[in-house]
């Protein structure tokens, strides 16, 4: 199928799925500086792009990871999460629009984003950026948790959540990258935690998805405007982010909250640069981006089949 046909097919299946309890979602792509980079569609029969920057997952049901999976590799970059060879080039301080293929309004909850460098500690193979990273070793620093408009306590239950704004913005979320990032390969981990069944122990639903990034530098980056570099040193593995009993995970959002919602996971890193909920916009794209492949650790070349490091993803 050609991409346009595929997108129409997606739109049709979303409209059929949204009313049902099985409504879930996947990563269509990311838009950076007006250019689109492909995500990954795990549904049976989907056609995926070899130059995608979205991680492969085996979540063919477009489903979630439940609290029972919080201490397993599934929570890192979804079930069966596997990195692609390509990376989307980006600059420190840029906005990345993460495009989901739909989001049911009833799946309310926080929208969280994390960043992890693919460095010597995480990547066994020499110098291919995030393409062969050991995901369980990635050390994540939170860069956005939907504040300050995450939950507006004045609204009646179940409330106005970051996920509602994501749905309103054409099912997308703008992630602001911190200023002062060192150039190099990174994984962006973006996640919605749906809380509609979270009053039951184990009922929260985490939808994590991952994207390979190449942060360019230093010429394109005006670090002179930053007071501090963004510090990733306190990053933690995803398998230590959440517990089933966290107050923001085991919660009945059908009741008025008696105190502020406690956002799950570690705190947002100092000098983060999130796009506030109420400033979220959903610009489209005007062109396809040109992903890069990392070689020798610090060199990038345009993605092409000649430098591909994995077989094209077959239709599944
Ligand atoms: C990935 O890292 C984990 C944690 O350090 C380790 O147990 C595992 O063996 C590594 N996997 C590979 C394929 O190197
Ligand atoms: C959650 O709160 C609603 C409204 O008070 C209540 O009807 C429901 O039974 C509660 N759910 C659980 C699992 O306690
Ligand atoms: C809206 O979302 C769809 C995917 O569901 C995407 O194809 C389309 O480009 C988006 N529109 C804009 C203006 O970003």
Q: Please, is 12 exposed, middle or buried when counting C-beta atoms within 10 Å of its C-beta (0-12, 13-18, 19+)?
A: exposed
Q: Would you state the structure tokens that stand for residue 209, as one six-digit string?
A: 């998805």
- Name the strands in the sheet holding 141-144, side by side, starting at the edge strand that comes first in the sequence: 88-91, 205-216, 184-194, 111-117, 141-144
Q: Please state the atom number of ligand 3 nearest to the C-alpha of residue 14.
A: 5
Question: 105 or 245: which carries more pLDDT confidence?
Answer: 245
Give, in order, the Cα–Cα distances in Å from 41 to each of 44, 121, 193, 291.
Answer: 9, 29, 20, 18
Is the predicted pLDDT of residue 137 greater than 50, yes or no? yes
Ligand 1: residue whose CA is nearest its atom 9: 134
Question: 133 or 122: which carries more pLDDT confidence?
Answer: 133
CATH number at residue 179: 2.70.50.70
Asked if residue 40 belongs to a domain, the reply is yes
Ligand 2: residue whose CA is nearest its atom 14: 199
pLDDT at 154: 60
User: Which amino acids bring their CB within 6 angstroms of ligand 1?
Assistant: 124, 134, 136-137
Is the CB–ligand 3 distance for residue 7 below 6 Å? yes
If one counts the domains in the chain, the total is 1
Question: 243 or 151: which carries more pLDDT confidence?
Answer: 243
pLDDT at 51: 96
Q: Please state the atom number of ligand 3 nearest to the C-alpha of residue 7.
A: 7
Is the CB–ligand 3 distance for residue 171 below 6 Å? yes
Asked if residue 198 belongs to a domain, the reply is yes
pLDDT at 297: 84
Is the predicted pLDDT of residue 128 greater than 90, yes or no? yes
Neighbours of 164 (CB within 10 A): 22
Asked if residue 315 belongs to a domain, the reply is no
pLDDT at 1: 34
User: In the predicted model, what is the mean pLDDT of residues 238-253?
Assistant: 96
3-state secondary structure 99-157: EECCCCCCCCCCEEEEEEECCCCCECCCCCCCCCECHHHCCEEEEECCCCCCCCCCCCC
User: In the predicted model, what is the mean pLDDT of residues 298-303?
Assistant: 92
Average pLDDT over all residues of the chain: 85
Asked if residue 43 belongs to a domain, the reply is yes
Which range is least confidently modeled, 21-25, 215-219, 233-237, 312-316?
Answer: 312-316
pLDDT at 278: 84
Is the CB–ligand 3 distance for residue 170 below 6 Å? yes
Give, in order, the Cα–Cα distances in Å from 314 to each of 51, 56, 101, 192, 288.
Answer: 13, 11, 21, 28, 22
Q: Please state the atom number of ligand 1 nearest to the C-alpha of residue 124.
A: 14
Which range is least confidently modeled, 91-100, 109-118, 302-311?
Answer: 302-311
Ligand 3: residue whose CA is nearest its atom 1: 170
Nearest to 97 by CA among 158, 169, 173, 24: 173
Neighbours of 172 (CB within 10 A): 23
User: Which amino acids bring their CB within 6 angstroms of ligand 2?
Assistant: 199-200, 252, 254-255
* Ligand 1 centroid – CA 78 distance (Å): 17
Q: Where are the alpha helices (DSSP H) in the chain?
A: 3-17, 74-77, 162-168
For 39-92, the pLDDT digits (tens) are 999 999 999 999 999 999 999 999 999 999 999 999 999 999 999 999 999 999
Asked if residue 248 belongs to a domain, the reply is yes
Instruction: Express as a percent the part of the chain with pLDDT over 90.
Output: 66
Q: Please state the atom number of ligand 2 nearest to the C-alpha of residue 199.
A: 13
In this prediction, residue 9 has a pLDDT band, given cuts at 50, 70 and 90, of very low
Q: Would you state the structure tokens that stand for residue 6, as one six-digit string?
A: 């595929």
User: In the predicted model, what is the mean pLDDT of residues 263-280?
Assistant: 92
User: In the predicted model, what is the mean pLDDT of residues 33-39?
Assistant: 97
Asked if residue 212 belongs to a domain, the reply is yes
For 148-186, the pLDDT digits (tens) are 445 555 667 888 889 999 999 999 999 999 988 989 999
User: In the predicted model, what is the mean pLDDT of residues 94-109?
Assistant: 95
* Ligand 2 centroid – CA 255 distance (Å): 7
Is the predicted pLDDT of residue 147 greater than 60, yes or no? no
CA–CA separation, 110 and 123 (whole Å): 30
What's the DSSP call for residue 183?
S
Query: What is the extent of the structural domain holding 84?
Result: 23-292
Is the predicted pLDDT of residue 239 greater than 60, yes or no? yes
pLDDT at 29: 98
Asked if residue 311 belongs to a domain, the reply is no
* Ligand 3 centroid – CA 31 distance (Å): 10
Q: Are 259 and 251 in contact (CB under 8 A)?
A: no
Is the predicted pLDDT of residue 120 greater than 60, yes or no? yes
CA–CA separation, 56 and 58 (whole Å): 7
Asked if residue 299 belongs to a domain, the reply is no
Mapped onto helix, strand or coil, the DSSP state of residue 87 is: strand
Ligand 2: residue whose CA is nearest its atom 3: 254
């Amino acid at each position: 199928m050609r991409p346009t046909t595929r997108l129409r097919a997606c739109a049709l299946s979303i409209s059929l799925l949204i009313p049902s309890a099985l409504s879930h979602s996947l990563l269509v792509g990311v838009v950076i500086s007006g250019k689109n980079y492909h995500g990954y569609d795990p549904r049976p029969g989907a056609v995926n792009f070899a130059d995608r920057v979205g991680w492969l997952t085996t979540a063919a049901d477009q489903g979630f990871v439940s609290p029972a999976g919080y201490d397993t590799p599934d929570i890192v970059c979804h079930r069966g999460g596997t990195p692609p060879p390509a990376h989307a080039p980006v600059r420190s301080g840029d906005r990345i629009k993460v495009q989901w293929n739909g989001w049911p309004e009833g799946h309310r909850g926080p929208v969280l984003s994390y960043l992890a460098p693919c460095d010597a500690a995480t990547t066994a193979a020499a110098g291919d950026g995030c393409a062969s990273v050991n995901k369980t070793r990635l050390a994540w620093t939170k860069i956005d948790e939907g504040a300050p408009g995450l939950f507006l306590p004045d609204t009646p239950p179940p409330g106005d959540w970051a996920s509602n704004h994501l749905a309103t913005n054409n099912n997308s979320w703008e992630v602001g990258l911190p200023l002062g990032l060192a150039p190099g390969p990174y994984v962006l981990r973006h996640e919605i935690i749906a809380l509609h069944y979270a009053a039951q122990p184990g009922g929260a639903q985490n939808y994590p998805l991952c994207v390979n990034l190449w942060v360019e530098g230093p010429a394109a980056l005006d670090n002179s405007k930053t007071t501090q570099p963004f510090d990733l040193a306190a990053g933690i593995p995803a398998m230590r982010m959440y517990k089933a009993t966290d107050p923001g995970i085991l919660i009945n959002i059908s009741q008025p909250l008696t105190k502020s919602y406690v956002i799950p996971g570690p705190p947002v890193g100092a000098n983060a640069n999130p796009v506030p909920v109420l400033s979220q916009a959903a610009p489209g794209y005007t062109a396809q981006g040109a992903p890069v492949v990392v070689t020798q650790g610090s060199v990038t070349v345009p993605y092409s089949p000649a430098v591909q490091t994995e077989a094209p993803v077959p239709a599944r």
